């Protein structure tokens, strides 16, 4: 809790609350000020936010247009009390991106929601049909109890669905993946937003044209997204933040400026991404400060600006990024300058798998080809003068990497990095030239890292890289045929309880290249 009183009780200046990408404040969002104190919110993240007052003085709050990155908002509190607020883009009243202003000597209530600690032994047999039983998906959520199945008929639903913490263990399922469509109309923020609700599964739906995300879980334990299609959403396609025990499978994402798929701000994450396709996004996958039993496997990452980009960053919790296993993926032709893109996606353009300031990641048995810069690259990430994220302990083993113009394998490091290694890869070029010889995963290195060093200058600049295309205007290819969830009409509801699925990483082979994609 921050305090706006100097020693002796004297008043000081404004009390600052920093808004990062998904949280208010570095150490929690409770702020104490005296009666008459002023709070200044500063958006230091990369995302737009708003401030929606649950209670407080008249006029308290600010909309997203006035609180974009770099902007500030002030409010003076003239009455004693506890005043709650949230960002509607990244939370709701029950959790997510929330905060409290404690004015004067007001008593702070315990606002923890009373929820069962464990999932029910069996999910409910109740099914709520939309629109037969309830006219909208949101009304079905409002009417549901723990473990219920919300079964949505084909049609276009122009709504943004909120699942609060008081609605755990729901399954929201479409009857037809390509014809059961949630459409944001470029006005609504999130297709399905799950805030602190445990065990919610979302499956067999298409979600498109949202200003933020297709599906968004935040602050949850237990989540699953299966057989999802997300197209042309303004931030991420499928997004999990500060959430653990999750699974994303058999899904497709295109047209997001940030990442098609994202898991971030969790240690350990205990999560799996498998059997997904990500194309025509700024980044195929991004995961800031995520790791700990996080597996990205058996998936295709193509035609994005950059492919798979785990990274460290000060703007989200749990830094640094570490302990991902990236295995059995097809990663190719991530040079696409016709996509929407955030700044870092423009910068990272032309790389297949890029570890930016991460630690202890394992990258093995992937097939990576046709990139203008690097195939599989490990770099130290100098985010700022204050934050320089070292790349330590990353293992690049047994991959097939060819036709990556700056180097099939590459590393750029500063000082004090340790434990990065490259062994058993099938490659044409490396940068530096003796990379595997200098940094083997077993034994003592004999190569010279000073020859043919990785040209980080080409990676670190946006010069010569195409500007972002507005996500609303991006000319995307037709969605390729995607698999339907088996027996969607009759399958029993399965909440996200026993997740993630168990994956035998050692048994995953290097995938063959598609016949129509080159190799």
In a domain, 42, yes or no: yes
In a domain, 67, yes or no: yes
User: Contact 199/232 with Cβ under 8 angstroms?
Assistant: no
pLDDT for 271-291, tens place per residue? 999 999 999 999 999 999 999
pLDDT for 438-467, tens place per residue? 999 999 988 888 888 888 889 989 999 999
Q: What's the rounded mean pLDDT across residues 423-431?
A: 97
pLDDT at 9: 38
User: Contact 410/431 with Cβ under 8 angstroms?
Assistant: yes
In a domain, 19, yes or no: yes
Number of structural domains (the chain) is 1
Tracing tokens 């709050």 back to the chain, one arrives at 61
- 438 vs 422: CA distance, rounded Å: 9
CA angle 144, 147, 151 (to 5 degrees): 65
Token couple for 16: 């600052």
Q: What's the rounded mean pLDDT across residues 205-219?
A: 97
pLDDT for 306-324, tens place per residue? 999 999 999 888 999 999 9
- 70 vs 65: CA distance, rounded Å: 12
Q: What's the rounded mean pLDDT across residues 216-229?
A: 97
What b/e sequence results for 403-412 when a residue is b if at least 16 CB atoms lie within 10 Å of its CB, and e otherwise?
A: bbebbbbbbb
pLDDT at 110: 67
Q: Can you give the residue range of the structural domain that contains 30? A: 2-103
Q: What is the mean pLDDT of the chain?
A: 90
Q: What's the rounded mean pLDDT across residues 412-433?
A: 90
Instruction: Check pLDDT > 50 for residue 205.
Output: yes
CB atoms within 10 A of CB 470: 9
401: β partners: 368, 427
- Residue of higher predicted confidence among 293 and 1: 293
Instruction: Check pLDDT > 60 for residue 113.
Output: no
Q: What's the rounded mean pLDDT across residues 374-387?
A: 94
- 503 vs 494: CA distance, rounded Å: 19
Tracing tokens 């297949």 back to the chain, one arrives at 352
Q: Provide the CATH number for the domain around residue 78.
A: 2.60.40.420
| Range with the poorest average pLDDT among 35-49, 209-223, 389-403, 494-508 | 35-49
Which of the four pLDDT bands, split at 50, 70 and 90, describes residue 7? very low
Query: Minimal CA–CA distance to 417: which of 360, 455, 457?
Result: 360
Q: What's the rounded mean pLDDT across residues 142-157?
A: 97
- Residue of higher predicted confidence among 417 and 10: 417
């Amino acid at each position: 809790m921050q305090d706006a009183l100097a020693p002796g009780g004297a008043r000081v200046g404004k009390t600052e609350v920093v808004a990062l990408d998904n949280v208010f404040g570095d150490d929690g969002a409770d702020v104490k000020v005296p009666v008459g104190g002023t709070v200044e919110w500063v958006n230091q993240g990369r995302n737009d936010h708003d401030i929606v007052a649950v209670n407080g003085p008249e006029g308290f709050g600010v909309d997203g247009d006035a609180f974009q990155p770099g902007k500030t908002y002030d409010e003076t509190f003239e009455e004693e009390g506890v005043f709650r607020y949230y960002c509607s883009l990244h939370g709701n009243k029950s959790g997510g991106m929330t905060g409290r202003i404690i004015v004067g000597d007001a008593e702070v209530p315990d606002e923890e929601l009373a929820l069962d600690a464990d999932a029910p032994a069996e999910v409910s047999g109740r099914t709520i049909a939309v629109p037969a039983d309830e006219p909208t998906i949101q009304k079905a959520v409002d009417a549901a109890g723990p473990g219920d199945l919300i079964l949505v008929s084909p049609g276009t639903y122009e709504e943004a669905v909120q699942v609060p913490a008081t609605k755990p263990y729901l399954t929201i399922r479409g009857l037809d993946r390509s014809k059961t469509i949630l459409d944001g109309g470029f006005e609504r923020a999130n297709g399905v937003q799950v805030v602190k609700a445990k065990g919610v599964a979302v499956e067999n739906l298409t979600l498109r044209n949202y200003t933020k995300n297709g599906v968004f879980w935040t602050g949850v334990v237990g989540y699953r997204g299966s057989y999802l299609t997300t197209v042309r959403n303004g931030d991420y396609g499928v997004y999990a933040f500060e959430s653990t025990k999750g699974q994303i499978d058999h899904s497709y994402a295109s047209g997001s400026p940030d990442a098609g798929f994202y898991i971030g701000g969790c240690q350990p994450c205990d999560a799996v991404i498998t059997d997904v396709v990500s194309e025509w996004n700024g980044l195929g996958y991004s995961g800031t400060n995520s790791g700990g039993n996080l597996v990205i496997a058996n998936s295709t990452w193509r035609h994005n600006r950059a492919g798979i980009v785990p990274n460290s960053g000060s703007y989200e919790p749990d830094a640094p990024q570490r302990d991902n296993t990236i295995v059995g993926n097809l990663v190719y032709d991530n040079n696409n300058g016709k996509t929407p893109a955030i700044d870092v996606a423009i910068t990272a353009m032309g790389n297949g798998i890029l570890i930016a300031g991460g630690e202890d990641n394992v990258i093995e048995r992937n097939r990576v080809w046709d990139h203008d810069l690097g195939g599989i690259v490990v770099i130290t990430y100098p985010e700022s003068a204050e934050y320089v994220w070292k790349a330590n302990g990353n293992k690049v083993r047994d991959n097939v990497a060819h036709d990556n113009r700056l180097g099939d394998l590459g590393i750029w490091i500063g000082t004090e990095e340790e434990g990065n290694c490259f062994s058993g890869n099938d490659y044409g070029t490396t940068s530096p030239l003796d990379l595997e010889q200098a940094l083997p995963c077993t034994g003592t290195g004999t190569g010279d890292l000073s020859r043919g060093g990785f040209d980080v200058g080409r990676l670190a600049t946006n010069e010569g890289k195409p500007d972002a295309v507005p996500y609303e205007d991006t000319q995307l290819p037709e969605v390729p045929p995607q698999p339907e969830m088996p027996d969607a009409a009759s399958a029993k509801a399965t909440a996200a309880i026993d997740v993630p699925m168990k994956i035998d990483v050692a048994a995953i082979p290097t995938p063959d290249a598609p016949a129509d994609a080159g190799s």
